[in-house]
């Protein structure tokens, strides 16, 4: 590090779980001086992590020190300390959360830099905040300061709550007794400053529509112009974030922060992105701008209401706003009508229509929307009262978003933006998404990043080398690096793999029969019906061997429904359907009954955790490929084709592999778990890519017949369960 930069570093200090004399001996020089000079050596960095895990072992009676976990922490700390990015695949059982938490905390102590951890799922975010970090605090550092960061729409907003009560907008949405619960909760979070006021903290069960009325609206919040700003739950939480050593956020919030001028989160020196295989997907959903034909009419109603109810808004400005709003409405609706006619033929059987070229005679709406935004902005004065200011801000942001969206259409950059139309619940929508996500993120992300997941890599061949150096050198991480770090120079990222310590050979088997043929797309109804009959029979036979404890994964709600109807007539076991009970309730029912069959669609493929013998049979009815009519997938495929690549092998297959590996990960959660994964899609044998998909799975026995399955079950007790 250059000498002149050293003063700018926040000061580092010895981590509280370390012994200075021991580290000095390892360093061969004073450890305090090395920390001050940012010159701690590799051996001393390794010792810092090892000492942390020894303390953790002493504090946790069942804890078994795992080499892979310690090595992973050491690798992360080394990379961060040397100012390098890292990409690490850590299989289930390595204990990656503790590994990156220990490394992050050590890095924070040694450099003074805050570290932000971002997960894809709220479940993992919550587990880190509620379970893992409190434990680390007890074991390593009683003064550790960490905070949970949620998007602002998750926090109680007093201004909006009072508006809802005063205007009575809760009527028709909520019963009196539920409203009383909301009042009681609001009373508590307004007065008890220890409460964050977040939706995840002991809150009443109320409809989503009511939550939206009492939580912060980022577009409308007037911040320090609000009378409740001083005691605002959200801003109080944000102050705490600025004082924390570690922050626990999620991908959505991190990406929102990065793509919106970095105003939301406090500064941090390094970021850990867990469940990183989902980052790009979340990124594209945030990058997508989407509007419906009636959105401007809805906005106009709000503008009209504001102009009528606030008598202070008068004269020329009021008249100008009314005129420009009316002009925008006409153009907006004509714009949507033109596109609806233009895309009508393209929809055919699909709900989406890719737009490949602009149409000549669409009205210009970008300029009038910008004009409206300028007029609207001048409604705000020094004296504007807070609730009015909030409404103006919210409407102004919506106008600006519409103008930005219209701008994407008027410049029509078919190389850099994908455009499509969608019909959803009788609504016609136009959408646009920029395709330079990887480059944008590379530009906005902090210098130091760790990307980690149990399924971050992809091996594109049918043979799987056992040496990890072969895997890394021959491109195990290439696909992820291309997506997430497209500008990284070769060799500039530390890549590593930590294999699972689980004994998959004896604890799990892949049953993949060859006889179930999936009908071709567009097959006649009777062919499809026969397929569903056979599939239901196979599921009934498998679940009778396992006695339930089965999660059955589908690629569509339609297929799930077809099997649900048939299966209830074929088994006495309890059949739980996600379509009837929703994700959380169906999962809770499944956890209560070890002899149940749970039918789940795409939200069950990842992030579901049922440890122990409650889940011993995982049935995958069909491989999960990205739907070919997905517009972003199509556009990215075309870009790959233009570069001479094969989109199926470079995009579609890696995604299917990740989803298969994620689903597999639901089955074996601890070293004691056992079970069978039944893959009822015979393409795994018919297609050449089947071997690649199997090569990417953990090393398990592969069984092709029911008889083989029964023998393996007898020998290893894969489907056994206890009755308690």
Closest distance between ligand SF4 and the C-beta of residue 507, in Å? 50
What is the spatial distance between Cα 55 and Cα 65, in angstroms, rounded to a whole number? Answer: 10
Instruction: Identify which of residues 59 and 223 has a Cβ nearer to ligand SF4 in the complex.
Output: 223
Closest distance between ligand SF4 and the C-beta of residue 89, in Å? 40
Closest distance between ligand SF4 and the C-beta of residue 360, in Å? 45
Residue 229: Cβ within 10 Å count: 17
Instruction: Identify which of residues 232 and 254 has a Cβ nearer to ligand SF4 in the complex.
Output: 232
Instruction: Identify which of residues 185 and 532 has a Cβ nearer to ligand SF4 in the complex.
Output: 185
Backbone angles phi, psi at 265, to 5 degrees: -100, 150
Nearest to 375 by CA among 418, 316, 423: 316
Nearest to 419 by CA among 400, 438, 406: 406
Nearest to 555 by CA among 515, 591, 518: 518
Closest distance between ligand SF4 and the C-beta of residue 387, in Å? 8
Backbone angles phi, psi at 246, to 5 degrees: -125, 140
Q: Beta strands 675-679 and 427-434: pairing type?
A: unpaired
Burial of 569 (0-12, 13-18, 19+ CB in 10 A): exposed
Q: Could you give the 3-state DSSP secondary structure of residue 13?
A: coil
Instruction: Identify which of residues 181 and 219 has a Cβ nearer to ligand SF4 in the complex.
Output: 219
Instruction: Identify which of residues 14 and 386 has a Cβ nearer to ligand SF4 in the complex.
Output: 386
Instruction: Identify which of residues 240 and 720 has a Cβ nearer to ligand SF4 in the complex.
Output: 240
Instruction: Identify which of residues 90 and 221 has a Cβ nearer to ligand SF4 in the complex.
Output: 221
Backbone angles phi, psi at 436, to 5 degrees: -90, 45
Instruction: Identify which of residues 143 and 261 has a Cβ nearer to ligand SF4 in the complex.
Output: 261
In the DSSP assignment, the letter for residue 656 is: H
Instruction: Identify which of residues 160 and 636 has a Cβ nearer to ligand SF4 in the complex.
Output: 160
Pull the structure tokens for residue 324. 């420009």
Instruction: Identify which of residues 104 and 198 has a Cβ nearer to ligand SF4 in the complex.
Output: 198
Q: Could you give the 3-state DSSP secondary structure of residue 420?
A: strand
- Contact residues for ligand SF4 (CB under 6 A)? 157-160, 216, 221, 223, 226, 228-229, 232, 234-235, 390
Closest distance between ligand SF4 and the C-beta of residue 190, in Å? 10
Length of the chain: 724
Instruction: Identify which of residues 164 and 432 has a Cβ nearer to ligand SF4 in the complex.
Output: 164
Instruction: Identify which of residues 214 and 246 has a Cβ nearer to ligand SF4 in the complex.
Output: 214
Closest distance between ligand SF4 and the C-beta of residue 278, in Å? 29
Instruction: Identify which of residues 159 and 273 has a Cβ nearer to ligand SF4 in the complex.
Output: 159
Listed in sequence order, the residues at least 6 apart from 437 whose beta carbon sits closer than 8 Å to its beta carbon are: 280, 283, 284, 287
Do the beta carbons of residue 38 and residue 83 sit within 8 Å? no
Closest distance between ligand SF4 and the C-beta of residue 238, in Å? 10
In the DSSP assignment, the letter for residue 697 is: S
Instruction: Identify which of residues 225 and 423 has a Cβ nearer to ligand SF4 in the complex.
Output: 225
What is the spatial distance between Cα 342 and Cα 358, in angstroms, rounded to a whole number? Answer: 10
Instruction: Identify which of residues 170 and 476 has a Cβ nearer to ligand SF4 in the complex.
Output: 170
The per-type count for the chain, helices as H runs and strands as E runs, is 30, 18
Do the beta carbons of residue 105 and residue 15 sit within 8 Å? yes
Closest distance between ligand SF4 and the C-beta of residue 683, in Å? 51
What is the spatial distance between Cα 137 and Cα 130, in angstroms, rounded to a whole number? Answer: 11
Return the CA Rg of the chain.
Answer: 28
Burial of 116 (0-12, 13-18, 19+ CB in 10 A): buried
Nearest to 392 by CA among 375, 407, 404: 375
Closest distance between ligand SF4 and the C-beta of residue 577, in Å? 39
Helices 42-59, 20-27: axis angle to 10 degrees equals: 150
What is the spatial distance between Cα 45 and Cα 39, in angstroms, rounded to a whole number? Answer: 10
Work out the end-to-end distance of the chain between its first and last CA atoms, rounded to an integer number of angstroms.
60
Q: Could you give the 3-state DSSP secondary structure of residue 260?
A: coil
Closest distance between ligand SF4 and the C-beta of residue 216, in Å? 4
Closest distance between ligand SF4 and the C-beta of residue 217, in Å? 8
What is the spatial distance between Cα 613 and Cα 615, in angstroms, rounded to a whole number? Answer: 5
Pull the structure tokens for residue 95. 């204990």
In the DSSP assignment, the letter for residue 6 is: G
Sign of CA pseudo-dihedral 170, 176, 178, 182: positive
């Amino acid at each position: 590090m250059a000498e002149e930069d050293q003063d700018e570093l926040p000061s580092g200090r010895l981590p509280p779980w370390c012994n200075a004399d021991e580290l000095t001996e390892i360093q061969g020089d004073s450890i305090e001086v090395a920390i001050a000079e940012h010159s701690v050596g590799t051996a001393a960095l390794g010792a810092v992590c090892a000492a942390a895990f020894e303390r953790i072992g002493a504090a946790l009676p069942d804890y078994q020190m795992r080499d892979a976990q310690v090595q992973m922490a050491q690798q992360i700390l080394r990379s961060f300390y040397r100012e390098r990015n890292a990409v690490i695949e850590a299989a289930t059982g390595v204990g990656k959360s503790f590994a990156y938490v220990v490394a992050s905390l050590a890095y924070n102590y040694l450099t003074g830099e805050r570290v932000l951890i971002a997960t894809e799922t709220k479940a993992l975010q919550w587990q880190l905040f509620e379970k893992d970090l409190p434990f680390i605090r007890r074991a390593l550092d009683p003064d550790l300061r960490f905070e949970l960061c949620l998007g602002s729409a998750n926090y109680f907003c007093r201004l909006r709550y009072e508006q809802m009560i005063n205007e009575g907008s809760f009527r028709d949405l909520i019963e009196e007794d539920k409203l009383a619960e909301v009042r009681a909760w609001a009373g508590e979070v307004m007065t008890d400053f220890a409460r964050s006021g977040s939706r995840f903290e002991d809150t009443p069960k109320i409809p989503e529509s009511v939550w939206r009325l009492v939580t912060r609206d980022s577009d409308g919040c007037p911040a320090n112009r609000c009378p409740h700003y001083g005691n605002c739950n959200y801003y109080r939480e944000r102050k705490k974030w600025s004082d924390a050593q570690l922050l626990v956020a999620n991908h959505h919030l991190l990406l929102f922060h990065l793509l919106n001028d970095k105003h939301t989160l406090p500064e941090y020196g390094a970021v850990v992105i867990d469940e990183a295989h989902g980052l790009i997907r979340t990124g594209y959903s945030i990058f997508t701008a989407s509007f419906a034909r009636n959105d401007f009419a809805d906005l106009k109603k709000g503008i009209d209401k504001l102009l009528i109810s606030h008598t202070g808004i008068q004269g020329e400005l009021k008249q100008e706003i009314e005129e420009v709003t009316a002009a925008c409405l006409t153009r907006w609706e004509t714009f949507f009508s033109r596109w609806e006619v233009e895309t009508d033929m393209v929809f055919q059987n699909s709900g989406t229509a890719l737009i490949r070229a602009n149409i000549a005679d669409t009205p210009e709406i970008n300029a009038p929307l910008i004009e409206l935004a300028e007029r609207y902005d001048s409604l705000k004065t020094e004296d504007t009262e807070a609730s009015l200011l909030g409404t103006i801000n919210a409407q102004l942001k919506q106008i600006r978003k519409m103008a930005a969206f219209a701008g994407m259409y008027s410049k029509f950059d078919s190389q850099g933006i994908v455009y499509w139309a969608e019909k959803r619940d009788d609504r016609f929508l136009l959408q646009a998404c920029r395709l330079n996500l990887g480059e944008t993120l590379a530009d906005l992300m902090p210098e130091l990043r760790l990307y980690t997941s149990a399924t971050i890599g992809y091996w594109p061949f049918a043979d799987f080398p056992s040496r990890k150096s072969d895997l890394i050198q021959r491109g195990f991480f290439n696909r992820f690096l291309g997506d997430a770090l497209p500008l990284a120079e070769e060799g500039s990222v530390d890549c590593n793999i930590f294999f699972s310590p689980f004994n998959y050979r004896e604890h799990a088997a892949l049953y993949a029969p060859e006889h179930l043929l999936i009908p071709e797309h567009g097959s006649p109804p009777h062919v499809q019906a026969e397929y569903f009959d056979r599939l239901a029979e196979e599921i009934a036979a498998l679940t009778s061997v396992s006695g339930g404890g089965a999660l059955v994964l589908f690629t569509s709600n339609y297929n799930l429904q077809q099997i649900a109807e048939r299966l209830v007539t074929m088994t006495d076991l309890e059949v739980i359907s996600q379509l009837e009970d929703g994700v959380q309730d169906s999962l809770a029912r499944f956890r209560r009954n070890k002899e149940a069959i749970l039918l789940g669609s795409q939200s069950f493929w990842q992030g579901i955790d049922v440890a122990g013998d409650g889940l011993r049979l995982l049935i995958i009815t069909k491989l999960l490929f990205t739907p070919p009519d997905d517009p972003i997938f199509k556009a990215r495929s075309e870009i790959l084709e233009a570069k001479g690549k094969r989109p199926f092998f470079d995009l579609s297959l890696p995604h299917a592999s990740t989803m298969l590996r994620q689903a597999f990960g639901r089955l074996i959660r601890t070293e004691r778990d056992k079970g069978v994964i039944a893959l009822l899609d015979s393409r795994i044998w018919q297609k050449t890519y089947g071997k690649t998909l199997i090569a990417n799975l953990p090393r398990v026995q592969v069984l092709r017949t029911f008889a083989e399955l029964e023998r393996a079950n007898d020998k290893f007790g894969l489907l056994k369960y206890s009755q308690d």
